[in-house]
Structures are given as structure tokens and as C-alpha cells.
Chain A
């Protein structure tokens, strides 16, 4: 398709996207959240093992607004959200763009389950405002957003769908991900959103361990039509544990030959002063628009990127 024809198709999608934006903002605003804006170009991205920030001069383009928003929690804000561009080098596909909009939100004095209630209510309200109902069709599935969401512990999902121990496969490089993609995700319920919950601690680098079982991290991910939509933690707030996790991620990045980032000194200084207990969530905003629009891939609803020719 020539770029101008594609652009013409994008027009209707952008109008729909604007309505989703307004509805999501209304949902957060009505619950006492403050919309914040933090820099897109930052000196020190969070060192995550498999996420790469594109360089921008001596700085980097953010992969998420996480560290900046946590600094705001330390500075006294207790309910905040942000919808804005994030960047991840090399991530291209039907459900990935090198540049995308993240909806990121934090709530102090709350845990990951309370945040699930918040986002579930906002998604349902947004669907009603933008599509007229709670039933959506996407990727060949009919999904009822308005009823009970399926809650599936990660250990149970791996045992049921792959016959393996999630804790054992988590110890081997990439095996957890392979089983998740090949055996677990295809078998998740698709008639309603499905929440995978309580990950082996290795897959909750910035999450608080469960008090009842410290081998599990308080983390959930919600899937809609098989699409991973949002990732949520009860946030780690202990500065010394955070430093350890950063060091571990930096070591992995070095071993994999990935770019080494400077230490996020402003963030570490803020958490040393004290971060309130909090839960935080990151939701792929483009994916939400795609699902509500009934589209199957991001290229159907997003403004074309200048490197779209390389789309797989």
C-alpha cells in the first residue's frame, strides 16, 4: 500500500483513538489520579535485562516513564498517571512498535490487586463510551470485558497447559518465555480478559515478594484476546534491594553485550529518602485502542512510522 492511501485509512483510527484517550483520562481523573508529564529524553533508563533504549545524543529515549514517576511518588504524589511515547529498539511486529504510547499509572498505599480493580473499571467504562457496549471483537475472538475476569496463577497455568514447573523453567535462559508463548498463551481463555498472576521472583525484578510465599513476586499481566495488555507490580520500595536488582540487570546486560547505562542517581537519591508502598502498572495504549477498535494489528490503527517498510 502506498503511504498516502495508508494515511487515509489512519484518519478514522486516529479519531477513534482520541475518544479512547478522552475516556481513559476521564476514568483516571474521576478517581483522583493526576496526569503527569515527565521527560521523554533521559540520562539513565532503568536497566532491564531485555529492553533496549535507543540512544539520543548523550541521553536515551525512555523505554518507560517508570523511574521518573516513582520519583514523583517519593516527592509526595500518591495517584498519578501518564500517557505518552516510549521507545524500544528492535521491537517490530503486529503487536510491537519501536515507538508506542504507554499508559503508566501508580497508586501509593495500594497493592497490585487494588490496581487491577482500578484498571478493570476504567477499561469497561472506556469500552462502553467508545464502542457502546462491553463486548468487543478482535483477532478472531469475541471478548466480554464486563463480567468476571479469569484469574490464573502462573504456576497453575504452566502446570495445566505445559505440564511443567514454572519455577524450574524460570531458572533456564529463555525457556520460561518459550513455554509461555508456545504453550500457555495459546491456551488462555479468550472469551474474557485473563489475568496471569504471581510470577516466580526472577520475573518480577522490581516487584515486591509475596509475604506468604517469598519465591513469588506480586505481579500480574492481563491478556485480552491473547494480547498482553498490561503489566503490574506491587512495587519494590527497599532501596538496598533495588540497588541489588539494578546491579543484577546491569550484569546481564553486560554479558549480553547490550548498551551499558549510567547509574540512575536521581532515582536512587529519591528512593533513599523514602518511597511509599505503591503499586504500578504499564499498559500498552496502542494495543488497547487496537482491541477496542476490533483491529488485529497495530499497523491498522497507528500513524505509520517512517521505518514501516521494514515491518515483518
Chain B
């Protein structure tokens, strides 16, 4: 298996530990008291988001994960899993709700997404950065307060997603949501 040297480690690098892919979320080069170098990493599982700390010595090797990105279209929910089709081969591949989290609210049929595969298995999906939703529930908008968008109130989209929106948003408005954070981005049109 291909391996990184400890000296190759840096923030953002993807590595394989005990058969699981991790991303290095924080990295610190240490060289305490004229001693040997140490590479301290905070790691986040690319499968379930769990985190851990590891310290590597210069002689240590760390696995390079077999990761691959492919274009995929979202197809349908089969009652249990979410089914995507490979943009080139049309092969249908499903991913479970746990892996998608709140992003299940942002799936749009035939939207082009990027699938991330680890050892040939789909482990994550990157959705289009912004999607549009209609507001179904929120307190009535406050007139003349369009400038202070930092004051927020709760709202629910027409597919049941809870999101904080600025005070000027009304039921029926179409809003844009950032799928990376799940947060309101801007108003597209009034309802």
C-alpha cells in the first residue's frame, strides 16, 4: 500500500488509518527541547465524522487512502436509501441517510453532484453549493428592515427544513440555501 512519510503530513491531507479514511483538520509540527520531531494531527473520519488525535514520529508512515471523485445525478429515494446514478455509466449507487445528514433536505432530482468513493464504495456526496427552496412557515416579515439581515428568525421550507432567515422574509418567498453549511444565503424572489 502506498504510504505518506510523517514529514508529508499537513492540514487538509486525507490519510488512511486502520482501514478508514480521515482528513487532517489540524496539524502542528513539534520539536520539543532539541529532541526528535513530532507531527501532531487532529483527524476527522470521512465516514462518520468522529475525531481523534494522533502523534507521528519521523520514522512513521501513514496510509494513502484510495479515494476517487465521480460526477453523479441524484435519482430517487427508495424508501431507505438515497439513489444516485453515475453520470458516465448510469450505474445506480445508493447512500444511506446517516452519511447525508441534513443534506437529505437539499436533494433535487437530476441535480449534478460529486460522489466521493473510498475503495470503490460511495461514502459522501457533494451537492450543488446553492439550492432554492420556498418558505412555507415563518412569522410575518418586518417592513423596512431589509438592511439588518443579521437579525434572524426561524422558518420552515416547503419540504420541512428548519432554517434561520432574516426578518424581512415572508411565507412564499424563495430563498437560496448553502448546502455546505445548511444556512440561509439570500432571497431569490418574493412570494
Contact = CB atoms under 8 A, between A and B. Distances in A.
Interface of A: 48-51, 90-96, 173-174, 176-178, 180-182, 185, 196, 199, 203, 205, 221, 228, 231, 310, 312
A91 B31 CA distance: 8
Q: Considering residues A178, A180, A203, A312, which has the most beta carbons from chain B within 10 angstroms of its beta carbon?
A: A312
Contact of B38 (A177, A228, A231): A177
Contacts, number: 67
Contact of A180 (B7, B28, B29, B32): B32
Q: Considering residues B28, B37, B40, which has the most beta carbons from chain A within 10 angstroms of its beta carbon?
A: B37
A contact patch SS: mixed
A92 B29 contact: yes
Interface residues of B, number: 19
A199 B29 contact: no
B81 interface: no
25 contacts: A48-B34, A49-B34, A91-B37, A93-B29, A93-B30, A94-B29, A95-B29, A174-B36, A174-B38, A174-B57, A177-B33, A178-B38, A178-B55, A180-B33, A181-B30, A181-B32, A181-B38, A181-B40, A181-B55, A182-B40, A203-B33, A203-B35, A228-B32, A312-B10, A312-B11
A173 B36 contact: yes
A91 B36 contact: no
A94 B28 contact: yes
B27 interface: yes
Given A174-B36, A231-B33, 5 more contacts: A50-B37, A94-B28, A177-B32, A182-B55, A199-B33
Interface in B19-75: 27-38, 40, 55, 57
A91 B29 contact: yes
Interface string B58-96: 000000000000000000000000000000000000000
A196 B34 CA distance: 14
A176 B35 contact: yes
Nearest to B53: A182
Contacts of A310: 10
Contacts of A91: 29, 31, 37
A232 B107 CA distance: 61
Contacts of B29: 91-96, 312
A95 B40 CA distance: 13
A237 B55 CA distance: 37
Nearest to A202: B35
A150 B38 CA distance: 26
A312 B27 contact: yes
A312 B55 contact: no
B39 to A, nearest CB: 9
B9 interface: yes
Interface of B: 7, 9-11, 27-38, 40, 55, 57
Given A93-B29, A94-B28, A96-B29, A177 B36 contact: yes
Q: Considering residues A176, A180, A181, A182, which has the most beta carbons from chain B within 10 angstroms of its beta carbon?
A: A181
Nearest to B27: A312
Contacts of B9: 312
A312 B55 CA distance: 15
A211 B185 CA distance: 69
Q: Considering residues B9, B10, B34, B57, which has the most beta carbons from chain A within 10 angstroms of its beta carbon?
A: B34
Given A203-B35, A228-B33, A231-B34, A90 B7 contact: yes
Contact of B32 (A48, A93, A94, A185): A185
Contact of A50 (B11, B36, B55): B36
A205 B33 CA distance: 12
Contacts of A48: 34
A154 B30 CA distance: 18
Nearest to A184: B32
Contacts of B10: 310, 312
Contacts of A180: 32-33, 35
Nearest to A173: B36
Q: Considering residues A94, A96, A174, A176, which has the most beta carbons from chain B within 10 angstroms of its beta carbon?
A: A174
Contact of A93 (B28, B36, B57): B28
B28 A50 contact: no
Contacts of B37: 50, 90-91
